[in-house]
């Protein structure tokens, strides 16, 4: 069977002008570096999902946004139309199994992403959610790397990228899929979208075109108009649900979605944290109503160390022989987590306060240091304690212990909420530690707590100077009455001279 055969309508089946009724529509998650940069994750290998053939549509048709949903997003793409059966072909032969390319719009409702946990069936499988066309370009006439995809919304150009930039070349995609799945004539493979994908609403017109710049080879513009669904989804169906993460993903960024930018532990914030003691921060957290943010039972391996950074997390579960056999060896969760640390991060380890075994040793601590991590906090033990102490990376722990991990612990998972030293730590929390101990500060609290702590230390420095001059602490510590008026007056004079 050839590509031309499947273009003839088959009796009793819904047909598409270009591809008839293909056996399958396969879509790629990420491929263009511009889109990968937006998503913040780089795929090591291609990953895919299936779209129903009933999602296919032609040009000049409408796509419904379900009533009650807000995040229908377009994705302009290059679609490959398979012309010859492909089964376990080599990457260099993959392109020869493609008959033609056309323009595609991989529409999706982000409000329904959670319903199928990554399968994308409802979010991207709705009727009309895979328009193709209107024309095609014969694959034999083009170098796939020369193809370009562009998208317009209401006549405004919003996507413009070249297939020459993709991480996974198109022939390689065909080869990869064919290792386990037979690709048949008429099958459609969507090859990923570049940056610029965003949200559209009722009345918006989306156009996608694929061409070879400088030539007459082009598909023509694939035009889709967005319409509002006539009826809400019934109660027995999963309902639209969104949060700020989905809004940012759908719009392309938090800024485009009108959201506050994500929290960053800036150099200015770090400089302020270096100025204040953990004890002062603890007092301010208590004044803000937070009394459970101290990681208890851990101490620095060297006096004078200070630790400041964003939390990454690692969890150990109690030792069990069968679980250690399945999870303790090889490239386990502990090693993977240490290998993935980034500059400025503090690894926080949940060891249940069990100090009768090491949870980190010199090799892994050195790995964290080389990667630029800001520190390690564990409520368990540390092996090779002297060697770890001699490294530049500050480590706070329950103390030394010579035993290996398996005596008390199984490395289990990472980048989840953990309990360390009696405190709950979430990935991204701010971790601050000095000789007094270690605190967890939720990012939303940091600025208010930090400014108040700086003011508190200024007051205490002034109070200490008065005590050194011989003043009694009554009314002075804390500042009240005349002492408070005197401090405020001097502080005002200082501000006025700046």
φ and ψ of 396, to 5 deg? -115, 130
Share of the chain above pLDDT 70, in %: 96
CA-nearest of 25, 18, 21 to 49 is 25
- CATH 3.90.850.10 range(s) for the chain read 5-251
Q: Rounded CA gap, 394 and 301, in Å?
A: 7
pLDDT of 496 higher than 60 = no
Confidence at residue 498, expressed as pLDDT on a 0 to 100 scale: 55
**pLDDT band, residue 118 (cuts 50/70/90):** confident
- CATH 3.50.30.40 range(s) for the chain read 291-441
List pLDDT tens digits, range 431-461. Answer: 999 999 999 999 999 999 999 999 999 899 9
CATH class (in words) of the domain with range 5-251: alpha beta
Lowest mean pLDDT among 309-313, 343-347, 351-355, 458-462: 458-462
Average pLDDT, the chain: 93
CATH class (in words) of the domain with range 291-441: alpha beta
pLDDT of 110 higher than 70 = yes
The first and second tokens of residue 169, run together, are 């070349």
Confidence at residue 4, expressed as pLDDT on a 0 to 100 scale: 46
**pLDDT band, residue 347 (cuts 50/70/90):** very high
pLDDT of 9 higher than 70 = no
Confidence at residue 39, expressed as pLDDT on a 0 to 100 scale: 87
Confidence at residue 238, expressed as pLDDT on a 0 to 100 scale: 92
List pLDDT tens digits, range 35-82. Answer: 999 888 889 999 999 999 999 999 999 999 999 999 999 999 999 999
Confidence at residue 15, expressed as pLDDT on a 0 to 100 scale: 87
- Render 178-244 in DSSP notation, one character per residue: HTTS-B-TT-EEE----TT--EE-TT-EEEEEEE-TTSS-B---EEEEEEEEEEEPPTTSPPP---H
pLDDT of 5 higher than 60 = no
As a whole number, mean pLDDT of residues 260-281 equals 93
Q: How far apart are the first and last CA of the chain?
A: 83
As a whole number, mean pLDDT of residues 169-175 equals 98
Q: Rounded CA gap, 249 and 326, in Å?
A: 35
Confidence at residue 3, expressed as pLDDT on a 0 to 100 scale: 44
pLDDT of 280 higher than 70 = yes
Q: Give the side-chain half-sphere CA count within 13 A for 484.
A: 8
Alpha-carbon distances, residue 465 vs 117, 453, 472 (angstroms): 61, 18, 12
Q: Rounded CA gap, 427 and 247, in Å?
A: 21
List pLDDT tens digits, range 297-336. Answer: 999 988 899 999 999 999 999 999 999 999 999 999 999 9
What pTM was computed for the model?
0.67
**pLDDT band, residue 493 (cuts 50/70/90):** low
- Render 323-360 in DSSP notation, one character per residue: HHHHHTSSS-HHHHHHHT--TTEEEEEE-TT--SSEEE
Confidence at residue 6, expressed as pLDDT on a 0 to 100 scale: 40
Share of the chain above pLDDT 90, in %: 85
């Amino acid at each position: 069977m050839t590509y031309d055969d499947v273009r003839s309508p088959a009796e009793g089946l819904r047909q598409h002008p270009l591809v008839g009724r293909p056996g399958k529509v396969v879509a790629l998650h990420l491929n263009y570096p511009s889109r990968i940069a937006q998503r913040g994750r780089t795929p090591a290998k291609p990953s895919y999902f299936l779209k129903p053939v009933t999602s296919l549509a032609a040009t000049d048709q409408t796509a419904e946004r379900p009533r009650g949903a807000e995040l229908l997003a377009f994705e302009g793409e290059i679609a490959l139309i398979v012309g010859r059966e492909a089964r376990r072909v080599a990457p260099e032969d993959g392109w020869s199994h493609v008959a033609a390319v056309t323009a595609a719009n991989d529409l999706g409702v982000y409000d329904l992403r959670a319903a199928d946990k990554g399968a994308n069936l409802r979010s991207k499988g709705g009727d009309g959610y895979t328009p193709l066309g209107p024309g095609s370009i014969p694959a034999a006439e083009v170098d796939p790397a020369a193809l370009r995809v562009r998208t317009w919304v209401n006549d405004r150009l919003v996507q413009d990228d070249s297939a020459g930039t993709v991480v996974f070349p198109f022939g390689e995609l065909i080869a990869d899929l064919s290792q386990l799945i037979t690709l048949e004539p008429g099958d459609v493979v969507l090859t990923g979208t570049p940056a610029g994908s965003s949200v559209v609403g009722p009345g918006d017109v989306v156009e996608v075109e694929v061409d070879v710049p400088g030539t007459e080879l082009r598909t023509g513009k694939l035009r889709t108009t967005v319409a509002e669904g006539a009826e809400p989804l019934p109660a027995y169906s999963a309902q639209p649900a969104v949060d700020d993460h989905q809004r940012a993903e759908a719009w392309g960024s938090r800024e485009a979605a009108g959201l506050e930018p994500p929290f960053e532990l800036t150099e200015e914030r770090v400089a302020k944290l270096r100025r204040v003691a953990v004890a002062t921060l603890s007092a301010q957290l208590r004044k803000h109503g937070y009394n459970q943010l101290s990681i208890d039972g851990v101490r620095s391996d060297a006096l004078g160390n200070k630790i400041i950074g964003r939390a990454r997390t690692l969890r150990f579960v109690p030792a069990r022989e069968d679980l250690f056999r399945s999870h303790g060896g090889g490239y386990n969760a502990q090693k993977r987590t240490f290998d993935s640390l980034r500059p400025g991060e503090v690894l926080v380890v949940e060891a249940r306060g069990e100090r009768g075994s090491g949870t980190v040793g010199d090799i892994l601590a050195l790995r964290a240091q080389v990667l630029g991590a800001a520190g390690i906090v564990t409520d368990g033990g540390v092996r090779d304690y002297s060697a770890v102490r001699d490294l530049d990376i500050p480590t706070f722990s329950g103390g030394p212990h010579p035993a290996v991990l398996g005596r008390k612990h199984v490395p289990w998972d990472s980048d989840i909420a953990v309990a360390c030293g009696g405190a709950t730590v979430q990935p991204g929390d701010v971790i601050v530690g000095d000789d007094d101990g270690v605190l967890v500060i939720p990012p939303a609290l940091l600025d208010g707590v930090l400014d108040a702590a700086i003011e508190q230390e200024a007051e205490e420095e002034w109070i200490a100077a008065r005590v050194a001059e011989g003043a009694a602490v009554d009314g002075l510590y804390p500042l009240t009455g005349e002492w408070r008026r005197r401090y405020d007056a001097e502080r005002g004079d200082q501000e006025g001279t700046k």
